[in-house]
Chains A and B, each alone.
Chain A
Amino acid sequence: MKLRHPSKAVLRDWLTGEIEPDTTDTVERHLDTCARCAATLEALEPAPEVTPGPDSSLSSALAIVLAPPDDLARRLEEGVTARLSSRQMMEVVADLFGAGLETTRLLLIEGDDDDDS
């Protein structure tokens, strides 16, 4: 069924989150494909009561909240190298015994558990 264009009041409520979840889904499905309503939304923005601050504040806040660990690059390099070594080892074992990769992985993990006990 083709969806009708939501009213400006509904679009404004969607922007501010003051809308029922079912209606949210309907509005978002419509907005995913309707350039006309996207333009209407842009015309509604910004509403006076919620004028956003400078974008730099938003960017800074996001950068703080999502800040990576200081040593991320080193950890990623080491992690990738270890993963690749592990995968290549499994491929060799799987080839030797004619087992699937997942079976081999489970066998190797079981082996690790036995060593720990």
Chain B
Amino acid sequence: MPAAADPAVLHRLVVEHGDAVYRLALSVVRDRALAEDIAQETMMKAWLALPTLRDQGSLRSWVLRIANNTAISTLRARRAVAVDPHDLPEAEAPAERSVEARVQSDAVMGEFVAALDTLDELSRTIVVLREVEGLSYDEIAAVLNVPLPTVKTRLLRARRRLSSTLKEWA
């Protein structure tokens, strides 16, 4: 194990950023096993490369950027290899998700999940980084390496489509 890779640092990385990395990965690939695999790879890369990070204040954005790049690379590799469309990652059946199994009984949440799946990966990622992780527009643009107008317009559309399914949810 490299001297710089302190297990205590890994523990802190995982506790502080593991959930956000997993959610970002899942928003890209829509497959829980694959999202966890991407989260592992992200944490390993971040742990080993942390000594090279100059501005520790940007740690969260830096980790999320690694996660997004890893998720996109994984998805592209899957798509390049998969000849059968059924081999591509897609939203899991509700029965496979313990937390969602409960909420899927609610038709509104079923509609919400369906609306989420109709969004492209970039729009899903943007709305998750804004609504769940609380990143600013500028931070999202930096993490995803996309122009600011893209963040704003995709977020508007994603909010509209998703929120319209929640009007009866209380």
| Residue from A32, A63, A85 within 8 A of B147 (CB atoms) | A32
Contact A59 B152 (CB under 8 A): no
CB distance from A4 to the nearest CB of B (A): 16
How would residues 19 to 51 of chain A score, 1 for a CB under 8 Å from any chain B CB and 0 otherwise? Answer: 000000000100111110110011001100010
Q: How far is the CA of A77 from the CA of B152 in the complex (A)?
A: 35
Q: How far is the CA of A17 from the CA of B48 in the complex (A)?
A: 42
Q: Report if A52-B157 is in contact (Cβ < 8 Å); known contacts: A65-B112, A76-B40.
A: no
- Which residues of A have CB within 8 Å of B150? 31-32
**Is A100 located at the chain interface by the 8 A CB criterion?**
no
**Is A58 located at the chain interface by the 8 A CB criterion?**
yes
**Is B64 located at the chain interface by the 8 A CB criterion?**
no
**Is A92 located at the chain interface by the 8 A CB criterion?**
no
**Is A15 located at the chain interface by the 8 A CB criterion?**
yes
| Residue from A55, A67, A72 within 8 A of B131 (CB atoms) | A55
Interface extent on A, as a size class?
A: 35 or more
Chain B, range 71-115, C-beta contacts under 8 Å to A: 99-100, 103, 109, 112-113
**Is A53 located at the chain interface by the 8 A CB criterion?**
yes
Q: Report if A73-B14 is in contact (Cβ < 8 Å); known contacts: A42-B152, A53-B169, A84-B1.
A: yes
CB distance from B56 to the nearest CB of A (A): 20
Contact A63 B10 (CB under 8 A): no
**Is B145 located at the chain interface by the 8 A CB criterion?**
no
Q: Report if A84-B113 is in contact (Cβ < 8 Å); known contacts: A57-B169, A64-B99.
A: no
How would residues 137 to 164 of chain B score, 1 for a CB under 8 Å from any chain A CB and 0 otherwise? Answer: 0000000001111101100110111111
**Which residue of A is nearest B104, CB measured?**
A65
**Is A75 located at the chain interface by the 8 A CB criterion?**
yes
Contact A88 B1 (CB under 8 A): yes
Contact A32 B146 (CB under 8 A): yes
| Residue from A14, A58, A64, A67 within 8 A of B163 (CB atoms) | A58
Q: How far is the CA of A77 from the CA of B27 in the complex (A)?
A: 22
**Which residue of A is nearest B98, CB measured?**
A69
| Residue from A53, A57, A62, A79 within 8 A of B132 (CB atoms) | A62
| Residue from B22, B127, B160, B162 within 8 A of A68 (CB atoms) | B22
- Which residues of B have CB within 8 Å of A57? 163, 166, 169
Q: Choose among A63, A69, A77 the residue with the greatest number of B CB atoms under 10 Å from its CB.
A: A77
Chain B, range 26-58, C-beta contacts under 8 Å to A: 26-27, 32, 36, 39-41, 43-44, 47-48
Q: Can you list 12 contacts pairing A with B, beta carbon distance less than 8 Å?
A: A14-B157, A17-B161, A28-B153, A35-B148, A41-B156, A52-B159, A61-B109, A62-B127, A66-B23, A77-B11, A80-B47, A83-B41
